[in-house]
Amino acid sequence: MRKTLNIAHRGANTVAPENTLVAFREALAIGVDGFELDIQLSGDNVPVVIHDEKLERTTNGKGLVKDHSLAALKELDAGAWFAPRYEGERIPTLEEVFAEFAHTDLLFNLELKSGIVLYPGLEEAVIKLVEKYNLLEQTIISSFNHYSLVECRKLNPEMRTGILYYAGLYEPWNYAKALGCYSVHPLFYHLQHPELVKGFKENNLPLFTWTVNEPLYMEMLVAGGIEGIITDEPAELKTIIEGINN
Ligand code: G3P
Ligand code: MG
């Protein structure tokens, strides 16, 4: 059985401001296997790493990401809201993340936030960057907007995609395969149904589940041989994975 991958949700977001370069550095220092990062598109079509469509929660800006040029987004502070010592931290571009971490063997789970704002051109811009940094084998693109995933596969049939979903879908493997998905990314509660884990395994669909922060669920999922866990608590998950695998 392969070891469960430890994926830091928005970077190490409990010790540093989510989706910033410092949060990804902290996650690397913890020893994670990958990052989950949320991608929106600037007004001038540059993929940027930020969870919300709106700027208010994690920056000192106002309004929608899509209504700001990259230059305007780069003026904003994306760290002080979290703790004063992170003042000056910026919203990273996806390219900045790749430029800094592409040399590692980390897995990049890029979540396209195309569910509320549709962002025409987001898929193409992201895929160009994955190709430029030669990261096809280290990247999974996920999204709650499954049209985005189909679009990604049209643009590059080698691009690995994974459906994100909240609902307790019944036998979703045929749907995932119809979309050409590499993996499936369900909310973790559903994996308490053993037939779901079994069904995905039988259909060769790796499971990357989110957002698992309680040790009890971490243990259950690692022992169940889940391929990847997306967590806000990567240090705790690391201890559990090492305990079960040693
Ligand atoms: O990719 C899993 C998870 O990040 C999905 O939800 O809202 O945290 O982006 P959210
Ligand atoms: Mg996300």
Q: Which amino acid is at 14?
A: T
The reply to whether ligand 1 has any atom less than 6 angstroms from the CB of 111 is yes
Counting ligand 1 atoms within 8 A of each CB, the residue from 37, 39, 108, 111 with the most, and so the one to mutate, is: 111
Counting ligand 1 atoms within 8 A of each CB, the residue from 7, 19, 36, 141 with the most, and so the one to mutate, is: 36
Counting ligand 1 atoms within 8 A of each CB, the residue from 109, 164, 229 with the most, and so the one to mutate, is: 164
- Nearest CA to 232 out of 51, 88, 92, 95 is that of 51
- Residue 51 annotated among the catalytic residues of the structure: yes
Other CB atoms within 10 A of residue 135 CB: 17
Backbone angles phi, psi at 158, to 5 degrees: -90, -10
The reply to whether ligand 1 has any atom less than 6 angstroms from the CB of 38 is yes
- Residue 146 annotated among the catalytic residues of the structure: no
Round to whole Å and give the CA distance between 245 and 141: 28
The reply to whether ligand 1 has any atom less than 6 angstroms from the CB of 95 is no
Contacts of 84 (CB under 8 A, 6+ apart): none
The reply to whether ligand 1 has any atom less than 6 angstroms from the CB of 164 is yes
Stretches where the chain sits below pLDDT 70 are: 1, 246
Distance of CA 129 to the CA centre of its chain: 16
pLDDT tens per residue, range 96-142: 999 999 999 999 999 999 999 999 999 999 999 999 999 999 999 99
Going by CA atoms, what residue is nearest to atom 10 of ligand 1? 51
Going by CA atoms, what residue is nearest to atom 5 of ligand 1? 210
User: For position 1, what pLDDT does the model report?
Assistant: 66
User: For position 194, what pLDDT does the model report?
Assistant: 86
- DSSP at 50: -
Contacts of 216 (CB under 8 A, 6+ apart): none
Round to whole Å and give the CA distance between 87 and 83: 7
User: For position 2, what pLDDT does the model report?
Assistant: 82
Give the distance (Å) from ligand 1 centre to CA of residue 43: 23
Round to whole Å and give the CA distance between 122 and 127: 9
Measured from the Cα of 230, ligand 1's closest atom is: 2
3-state secondary structure of 22: helix
Going by CA atoms, what residue is nearest to atom 2 of ligand 1? 210
User: For position 59, what pLDDT does the model report?
Assistant: 98
